[in-house]
A and B are shown apart, each in its own frame.
Chain A
Amino acid sequence: MFDKTIAAIVVSAIAFVTVYAITPILIKNLEKRKLVVKDYNRVGGAMVARPGGPSILAGILVSELVLYAFFSSVDVLAIILTTFLAFLVGLADDRKVLGGWFKPLALAATAIPIILLGAHGTHLDFPLFGPVHIPELYLALIVLMIPITGNTVNSIDVLNGVASGFMTIASFALTISLFIVHHYDIAIASLPLGFVSLAFYKYHKFPSRIFPGDSGALTLGAMYGTIAIVGHVEIIAAVALLPAVINSFLFLSSVKRIVEHRQLKSNPVEHTEDFKLKATEHKDAPVTLVRLILANGPMTEKEVGFTIFKLAIFSAALAIITAFMTGIKI
């Protein structure tokens, strides 16, 4: 137990410090290479460095490799490989605008290491009702899970600091849940996700100095999905991610097809004269979480972000309650 406590502290510190130290260097490098994008929600439209994926990946890889050196776990290896592959998919999308179907299909392929390494179970654990054994169906679930979590996190990356702040809350909820269901090794392996997100939030929060880009968002989302699978906490993970799931659900049910945000004709959000955000009145604009939050009137970008964080904390509490319920069978 002492070994595990030491490992948890070491990997958490490595994950946090790596991202905290590397991100400013990455920002300078990206700005020098003119890899910047306009922040349309900022007065004057400041140019912000993108993508922050490389520093996020560095934090995850270094900390998980150290953890692998400690315990040589096949689950940690699956986390490392799947997360790295998802980063490559995101980086390809950052470099070149790819079609709406590219990311789901490519992300499905990133789940292959989980299957090849056998780092998965064969059942789903439902709170109050117990497990359901679905060996063949579970393989399909793995292939679906990574694109879903990856794209769900990517879809919430709409305002300064939201994706990293949201992932910090959801990841720590997942870690607490893993401890509650006694999956200690995976709980330790999940710590870097929360600490990497927290360190990145320092530079991503309003006013952002860097955006995670697809490489950052997909890396975080894919790692979250992989932890859910190898830790057998798929339902709990889905609950912690509910606000982002609702955002994707609202978007898809209003647009009715898989499409990139940049391909939309109308934006769900507009600006007031004093540069607050307000919900658009365009009939063909998609319904999103931010648009619903703004339905009662304009808010600043920071206020909308904090509302999303309150929703994330609410879902995190539900996820932790779900973890407690997993041990109970009616």
Chain B
Amino acid sequence: MKGQIFVYVFIMWLMILAGGGLLVLTIAHISIQGFGKYSEFLDSGIKAIIAIFLVVLWIFIMSKIKNWIFHKQIRN
């Protein structure tokens, strides 16, 4: 069991690195213009929605990995 927890920590670390990469590749290239004073607001809003979506997706994936790694203990 202890080994599985170390594996889970390692997977979580890889997920953080991958998530960061995805965030940089998607959010960093978004730039909304042409809406006057609302451009900045729209830009931030869209970035926030993408970031929240990615966070929820990551929590969902981590939850599935958790169930997969610790399935025996959680079932008990």
| Chain A interfacial positions (CB closer than 8 Å to B) | 124, 126-137, 140, 235, 238-239, 242-243, 245-246, 249-250, 253, 279, 281, 287, 289, 291-293, 295-296, 307, 310-311, 314-315, 318, 322, 325
Contact = CB atoms under 8 A, between A and B. Distances in A.
A126 B21 contact: yes
Interface in B1-50: 1-2, 4-6, 8-10, 12-13, 16-17, 20-21, 23-25, 27-28, 40, 44, 47-48
B16 A293 contact: no
Interface of B: 1-2, 4-6, 8-10, 12-13, 16-17, 20-21, 23-25, 27-28, 40, 44, 47-48, 51, 59, 62-63, 66, 70, 73-74, 76
A254 to B, nearest CB: 8
A131 B20 CA distance: 9
A132 B44 contact: no
Contacts of B70: 287, 292, 295
A235 B66 contact: no
Given A136-B44, A137-B47, A292-B73, A246 B8 contact: yes
A242 B51 contact: no
- The CB with the most chain A CB atoms within 10 A, among B40, B51, B59, is that of B51
Residues of B contacting A: mostly: helix
A129 B19 CA distance: 10
Given A126-B20, A133-B28, A249-B62, 14 more contacts: A124-B20, A126-B21, A126-B23, A132-B23, A132-B24, A132-B27, A132-B28, A235-B20, A242-B9, A253-B63, A253-B66, A281-B76, A293-B2, A318-B10
B28 A140 contact: no
Residues of A contacting B: mostly: helix
Contact of B13 (A132, A135, A242): A242
19 contacts: A128-B17, A132-B28, A133-B28, A134-B27, A134-B47, A136-B44, A137-B44, A243-B9, A246-B5, A249-B59, A281-B76, A292-B1, A292-B5, A292-B70, A307-B2, A311-B5, A318-B9, A318-B10, A318-B13
Given A127-B20, A253-B66, A246 B9 contact: yes
